[in-house]
Every structure is written in structure tokens, then in C-alpha cells.
A and B are shown apart, each in its own frame.
Chain A
């Protein structure tokens, strides 16, 4: 697993976005984020159908170490959430870019994507601490 997959866009607050090519996107937290949090024990996800704005607190991750807010990198309507995380939150630790996704969103403000980082920029962002 690459630490910073090239096909994703990243927020400074360590969420990733994968464009699905049909006006929707999948959102999760980065490998850097899951590593910093340690073992994840609960994930609180948004309601399907909710309309959210970029930078809203959209989910909460509880690890053995701390509780942490997840901010939506983009605006839109939540169209699906990852039910797996209810029973197996550790999936986020194991495969943060794959089975550990958080939610899918119908994008409402395409231009917000321009504000997100590509893999190289995000990698530098993480290494700068």
C-alpha cells in the first residue's frame, strides 16, 4: 500500500478524496492520520442524505489514544456511509484508502477540489509535521 496514493486528493486536515468520475466522490482519512491516531475503536459517521459544507465536522474517530474530528474536504450530499466501520473500525488502520473509506458524497461545489493537495504536496505537508 502506498502511503500517499497518486489518484487521491488530500486536505490539510488529513482526509482524502477519490473522484469517481460521475459527480460523486469517496472520502476517508489518510494513512498518516490513522497512524497518528493508533488503534481505532469507534467511528461515528454522518447520516445518509445530510447536506454538508466543506470543512464541516462530519465524523468522529475514537482511537485508544484520543477522539478526533474528521472534516469534510468538500461540500455536497452524503449518499452512502461505510457500514463495515460499525463492527470493524480497525479496517481504517488496516486499509485506510480502500475498505476503510468513510462516506460517499454527491459533489455540489466542484471548484473546492482545486483547494485540495495532490499526493506530492500532501506528502511534504505530512513531513513538515
Chain B
């Protein structure tokens, strides 16, 4: 029996095409994925991402625990409300999951992927035993992500006066608690916006209010092309437990300083760094195909000094040609992709294609 978020009926009311996503019935689109994508780039769209897993961490050693559990350093969160993106690594330096951690008044809130929920909770619990911490999943919470150039203004127009006043002034990667709500300037699209983490029971009413002020529902299909244009990784595709964060464009999310901070996988990723310098570990890069054709996950990339693979690929609705993330040998000069038997030249670019509606690579 598939799981439903509190907005299931709202999705059906908006004409959603529902698909199975890791055991949840979720909207893939409400008609046209490309129109929904463009709405987020040009106006404002709302995603139901309540299927994602929220885990609250509290207790006297919550900070010490998360500094050990995560590759990024939670000590950087010097104020309540601040957010940090991090990988959670295993001992061999593979990525157990990628996540966002927020500093909260009670400790920390971690949001992990839905498809990895069970193994993540087991992993977190297994390491929590040595610390004075309490780990509590929050399945009663919904997450509404509203993104696009008009998103913040639209959300503020339906919030209480107090919440709107604070939300308007929030800087990127910052949030605030208000009663049982948490409102934060984070997202997965490359556009400005807010994420509302709130009790599920309140989500349908807020959804209706946002639709009434012209925010349009956006499905998981467009969420994928938006994050790909923004050069953001998708767990299980661009990296997994067998991939080093160093080979997944996540080096910047590893906090190497202070040197005496022990975190799971530290030794392994330190070794990986040396392997990158020696040219024996691949990198995750961006590919651009400006002619006809679509790059797809799994296609082979043939480079001068070896072979790579596309980890995520699609048509970019903003750029109107295909883009991809690919893991290829370092210092690859020119590359070709095997598209259905035809070797096609592609251009290598930094893995970041679109920000705030505009092309960002040369």
C-alpha cells in the first residue's frame, strides 16, 4: 500500500499524474513538466516534498554527535536557524546520503532523502549509542517548497504578519521557528524561495492559499530538471555509498578544518583527495550538448584518457538543449557520448548550468 502525503487529494484535484516514488504516491507532473519548470524559473511554483524524512536531534551531545556523523562541520552553524548542506559518509568514504542540517532552538533538524529513510535512520541510530543524544523522526511534518522569483513575495502574502515580516528578511540558508512551523530559505532549484516545514494537518490549507495567490503546483519531474540545471546532485544517481564525495563534486562540503575533528570517513576521503591529485579518481563534471539529442543517465562518455558515464542527463527547458552530469577521468580533453549508438561530441563545463533563471557557464 503506497504512502500518501497530506496533500494527496490536492494533487489529484490539480490534475496530477501520480507515480510511485520510493513507496510514496507522488505527483510527477500536473500536465506539462516543461511548463512547470518554466514557472519556477519565471514566477513561482510549489512542490510537496513531505515524503522527505525529517529527523530531530537533541540532547547534551547533539553538536558533538553531528560533528562526528557528518563530513561538513555543524560547528559552523553559529546561530539558531542557520542551515548547512552535508554528506553523511561511511568508513570507506562513500556517501550514505546527502542532507541539510538546521540549527534549532532544541538542537538540530536534519532532512534526509525519502528513498534512503530506513538505512539513514539505522545508520544514525547505530552511531548515536555512544553519545547523549535523542533521535526523533518527525513523520507528522509536511514540507512545502515554494520557489521562483516571485515565491518569497507570494508566500509572505499568505503568512501571518509576524511570520511574513521575518520571512521577507531571511538570508539564504537561514530559517526561523514559529510555533510548530519552521520557515527556511533553502531549496533545490537554483531559484530564491522558502521551504515551510509545518504540521501535516495544516498543509492542505496553506496549499490552497498559495494556489489562490497564483502559485502553481510543480511535480517531481520539473524538480529534477530544475536541480540538474542548478548542478545539484541527486542521491542514488550522481552519488551513492560506493562514490566518494570527492568524485561527486562535493569536496567543498567536507570541512577539513579543524584537523583534529574526527568524522566518519575522514581518513578515506583524505586518501581520495590524494587520488584525485594523482589522477586515479574520476570527477563529476557538467556536459553540454548544443545540437539535437538528449543526454541520459547511463550513457557512456568516451574521453581521451578513459571512459566515464552520465549520472544525470536531460533536456534543459531553460537552455533548450541537453545538459548532464557525468563522472569522467580527470583532465579529460574532448569527450564524446554514445547516444543510442551514435558518438556525439559534447562540451565539458563546470557542473552548474542555470542560476536565477540565467545561464551561468561559458
Number of A-B contacts (CB under 8 A): 33
**Which residues in window 29-51 of A have CB below 8 A to B?**
38-39, 41-42, 44
Cα separation A64 to B318 with both chains bound (whole Å): 13
Residues of B within 8 A of A44 (CB): 292
Which single residue of chain A is at the shortest CB-CB distance from B32? A39
- In contact, A65 and B221 (Cβ under 8 angstroms): yes
Distance in Å from the Cβ of A96 to the closest Cβ of chain B?
14
- Say whether A54 faces chain B, with CB atoms less than 8 Å apart: no
Which single residue of chain A is at the shortest CB-CB distance from B339? A67
Distance in Å from the Cβ of B220 to the closest Cβ of chain A?
12
**Which residues in window 71-119 of A have CB below 8 A to B?**
90, 93
Distance in Å from the Cβ of A41 to the closest Cβ of chain B?
4
Q: A62-B315, A64-B314, A93-B32 are in contact. Are A42 and B293 (CB under 8 A)?
A: yes
- In contact, A67 and B294 (Cβ under 8 angstroms): yes
- In contact, A64 and B33 (Cβ under 8 angstroms): yes
- In contact, A64 and B296 (Cβ under 8 angstroms): no
Interface residues on A, range: 10 to 19
Residues of A within 8 A of B273 (CB): none
Which single residue of chain A is at the shortest CB-CB distance from B292? A42
Mark contacts of A9-46 with chain B using CB atoms, 8 A cut-off: 1 yes-contact digit, 0 otherwise: 00000000000000000000000000000110110100
- In contact, B315 and A38 (Cβ under 8 angstroms): no
Interface residues on B, range: 10 to 19
- In contact, A38 and B221 (Cβ under 8 angstroms): yes
Residues of A within 8 A of B296 (CB): 66-67
- In contact, B225 and A64 (Cβ under 8 angstroms): yes
Cα separation A67 to B315 with both chains bound (whole Å): 11
**Which residues in window 314-357 of B have CB below 8 A to A?**
314-315, 317, 340
Cα separation A107 to B225 with both chains bound (whole Å): 41
Distance in Å from the Cβ of B227 to the closest Cβ of chain A?
14
Q: A38-B29, A39-B32, A93-B32 are in contact. Are A64 and B292 (CB under 8 A)?
A: no
- In contact, B293 and A64 (Cβ under 8 angstroms): no
Distance in Å from the Cβ of A66 to the closest Cβ of chain B?
8
- In contact, A64 and B34 (Cβ under 8 angstroms): yes
- In contact, A62 and B33 (Cβ under 8 angstroms): no
A interface residues (Cβ-Cβ under 8 A, vs B): 38-39, 41-42, 44, 60, 62, 64-67, 90, 93
What 6 A-B pairs have minimum CB-CB distances, sorted nearest first? A41-B315, A39-B34, A62-B294, A42-B292, A39-B33, A64-B33
